[in-house]
Amino acid sequence: MSTVVRLAKQDEVLGALFPFTSMNRLCFSRCTGYPYTSDIPLIQAALDGTYQVRLPDNTLLGGGNAIEVISLLKQNLPANIQPAVPGTADDL
């Protein structure tokens, strides 16, 4: 998962979101405080060494290597995504 984290951090859009982990998932939020937003796809490590991109409701969008899943996640971001802001999802 370290390659995915590095690529996400270096990405102009994903790097501006608030990252957090939940079990074996890399999640992103539009706010920095809990409760976080739940409208951004997440990346989950698969048993075969690849990764999966899932919606917050666990719907599988696809999978692949680190570069492929970063691309897939970005394709499925909410429209007009902005950097994370201080506060919680309740504040947005």
Query: Do the domain assignments include residue 11?
Result: yes
Bridge partners, 27 (sequence order): 20
At 1, is the pLDDT very low, low, confident or very high (cuts 50, 70, 90)? confident
pLDDT of res. 45: 95
- In the chain, the amino acid numbered 43 is I
At 57, is the pLDDT very low, low, confident or very high (cuts 50, 70, 90)? very high
Query: Do the domain assignments include residue 37?
Result: yes
Three-state secondary-structure class, residue 61: strand
Bridge partners, 45 (sequence order): 51
Strands 60-64 and 51-54, sheet pairing: antiparallel
Query: Do the domain assignments include residue 71?
Result: yes
pLDDT of res. 5: 96
Query: Do the domain assignments include residue 14?
Result: yes
pLDDT of res. 71: 98
Query: Do the domain assignments include residue 67?
Result: yes
Q: Give the domain extent around 18.
A: 2-78
Mean pLDDT, rounded, for 36-58 = 96
